[in-house]
């Protein structure tokens, strides 16, 4: 039975390569011009050309697909949510998925619901406030919070609209102005306390939980650098022993068990500079950017999802994951190191780059990296002749990618 990766960009590429590492035949449902299509292992889904979009036509495209069956591996939030219902319909006999109850995914994907859920637990987390009216803005205790940012309840839709994950709110008045603009555009928002610390205080626990509730693989990594500064995505991270995360591992196990979670996950934590505790920030319910890195370090969650979806015993990670391995997004990490300024940062980074896995570049699959390089060059040339962005978009860009 083949697998179908429902994802695009670097996540879709990583999931495809992870399946290839396990010897699993795979297709990818993504747009025709996507980064994944440059991979030597890319095969479009057969039939009418499903591009991975989740809409009213999706079920019909699957019904018409000339495959006896396939395992679907989600690489985006809306796909993970849609696939949770798949086993309960007529398509469930042909298309398999390792998925949690829809209600559990909704709690983890919706930042407002997740914040309320965490408030009923003993798991350390940043204070989160649902914002649906001016009264809610007025109720946020700015004076007792370190810093505050506005964050969408639905990250995928917001990021698609603005290329951002959140916006700083420097004052109550500024917060209210931001809320008014975004509320008019239909975005459901939250206010979240910023957990103080550096980019190197971010940790991730990635893994898989099977249908029996067994954690068949856990992989821990630490973010060292980030781009853009403060609120970007990891540009260099490194695998670490799970023991470094202490109580956070048990907290995550409890959370997943209480939600009857099944499938791939990636949980982000940040060590609070005030008390040293690791606070949980979010849990991705799908394949994520660094899923190939986890597979290369010994925890192939895509292969686990493939087995679990078919009711097969899930092969546990045979050894402790590789510790001390690095993974770099070279273009972004170059910018991150340059922003640090000190000469010793370059020497340290050069040593890390020489030893690291590269996030997209592979000698045996070089075209995706070449496509990214060309796209970056075109973007720079376009921006050189583009007028300065003003108004709302500029304001959003200054708060780009809040974590």
Domains, the chain, ordered by start: 3-100 (3.40.50)
From residue 106, alpha-carbon distances to 73, 117, 259, 281, 291 in Å are 18, 11, 11, 16, 22
Count the Cβ atoms, other than its own, within 10 Å of residue 326.
20
Sign of CA dihedral 239, 253, 83, 54: negative
Helix axes 9-21, 301-309, angle to 10 degrees: 70
User: Mean pLDDT, to the nearest integer, of 363-375?
Assistant: 92
User: Mean pLDDT, to the nearest integer, of 202-227?
Assistant: 96
Cis ω before 228 (30° cut-off from 0): yes
Query: Within 13 Å and on the Cβ side, how many CA atoms surround 143?
Result: 2
Instruction: Judge whether 28 and 7 are in contact, CB under 8 Å.
Output: yes
pLDDT in tens, 86-98: 999 999 999 999 9
| Partners of 148 in beta bridges | 169, 193
From residue 93, alpha-carbon distances to 66, 78, 98, 261, 302 in Å are 14, 21, 13, 22, 21
User: Mean pLDDT, to the nearest integer, of 46-65?
Assistant: 93
Instruction: Judge whether 235 and 227 are in contact, CB under 8 Å.
Output: yes
Write down the residue that tokens 């040293």 correspond to: 276
Sign of CA dihedral 205, 286, 335, 374: positive
pLDDT in tens, 258-285: 999 999 999 999 999 999 999 999 999 9
pLDDT in tens, 235-249: 999 999 999 999 999
Instruction: Judge whether 48 and 58 are in contact, CB under 8 Å.
Output: no
């Amino acid at each position: 039975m083949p697998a179908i990766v429902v994802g695009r960009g670097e996540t879709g590429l990583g999931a495809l390569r992870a399946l290839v590492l396990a010897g699993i035949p795979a297709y990818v449902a993504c747009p025709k011009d996507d980064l994944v299509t440059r991979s030597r292992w890319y095969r479009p889904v057969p039939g009418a050309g499903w591009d991975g979009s989740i809409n009213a036509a999706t079920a019909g495209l699957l019904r018409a697909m000339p495959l006896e069956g396939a395992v679907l591996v989600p690489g985006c939030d809306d796909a993970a949510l849609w696939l949770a219902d798949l086993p309960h319909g007529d398509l469930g006999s042909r298309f398999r998925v390792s998925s949690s109850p829809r209600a559990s995914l909704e709690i983890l994907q919706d930042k407002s619901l997740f914040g309320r859920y965490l408030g009923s637990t003993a798991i350390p987390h940043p204070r989160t406030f649902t914002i649906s009216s001016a009264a809610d803005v007025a109720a946020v205790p700015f004076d007792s919070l370190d810093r505050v940012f506005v964050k969408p309840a639905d990250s995928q839709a917001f990021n698609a609209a603005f290329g951002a994950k959140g916006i700083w709110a420097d004052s109550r008045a500024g917060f209210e102005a931001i809320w008014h603009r975004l509320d008019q555009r239909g975005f459901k928002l939250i206010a979240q306390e910023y957990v103080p610390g550096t980019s190197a205080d971010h940790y991730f626990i990635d893994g898989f939980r099977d249908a029996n509730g067994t954690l068949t693989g856990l992989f821990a990594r630490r973010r060292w650098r980030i781009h853009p500064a403060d609120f970007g995505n990891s540009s260099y991270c490194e695998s670490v022993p799970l023991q470094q995360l202490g109580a956070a591992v048990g907290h995550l196990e409890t959370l997943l068990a209480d939600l009857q979670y099944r499938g791939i996950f990636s949980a982000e934590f940040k060590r609070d500079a005030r008390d040293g505790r690791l606070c949980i920030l979010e849990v991705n319910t799908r394949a994520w950017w660094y899923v190939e890195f986890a597979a290369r370090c010994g925890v192939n969650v895509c292969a686990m999802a493939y087995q679990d979806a078919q009711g097969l015993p899930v092969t546990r990670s045979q050894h402790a994951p590789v510790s001390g391995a690095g993974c770099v997004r070279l273009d972004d990490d170059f910018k991150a190191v340059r922003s640090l300024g000190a000469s010793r940062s370059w020497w340290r980074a050069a040593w890390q780059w020489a030893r690291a896995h590269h996030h997209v570049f592979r000698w045996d699959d070089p075209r995706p990296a070449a496509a990214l390089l060309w796209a970056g060059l075109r973007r720079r040339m376009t921006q050189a002749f583009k007028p300065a962005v003003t108004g709302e978009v500029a304001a959003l860009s200054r708060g780009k990618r809040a974590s």
